[in-house]
Structure 1
């Protein structure tokens, strides 16, 4: 995701990459990322909020739900 410029994203906005990964700015302005894991199958969802939440899951639906939740809450 390093090749994607996130500075233009406004709070509440997200974009999807061609490989299905997503990134956005939460309602509070924190960077939220949904990435495919490299070392193991599955996905990781992280937020740049001070809470430092991270969700590791093998389920695509669970990863998307976590991303959507972090976009609203963080």
Structure 2
């Protein structure tokens, strides 16, 4: 993954790297990450929302399409 400085990301903005991994800031201002899993086949999508916000803290999936759908959905949460 390239530069991981998140301070310049505005709510709703995301960046993607050449390897397909993505990072963004949701409409609510929470960081959202899509990364390839290293220990097992698949992808992990995680959000840094504090407990009690009703958001899942992460989703594991084996398909690229599902990982991108989850990332996009978590980015829209406001």
TM-score (norm 2): 0.87
Unaligned runs of 5+ in 1: none
The question of whether the paired residues in 1 share the 8 Å contact of 2:36 and 2:43 is answered with yes
Unaligned runs of 5+ in 2: none
Q: Corresponding residue for 1:54?
A: 58
CA apart distance, 1:46: 0.4
Q: Corresponding residue for 2:4?
A: 4
TM-score (norm 1): 0.91
Runs of 4+ in 1 over 4 A off after TM superposition: none
CA distance in structure 2 between the aligned counterparts of 1:42 and 1:15, rounded to whole angstroms: 20
Aligned residue-pair number: 74
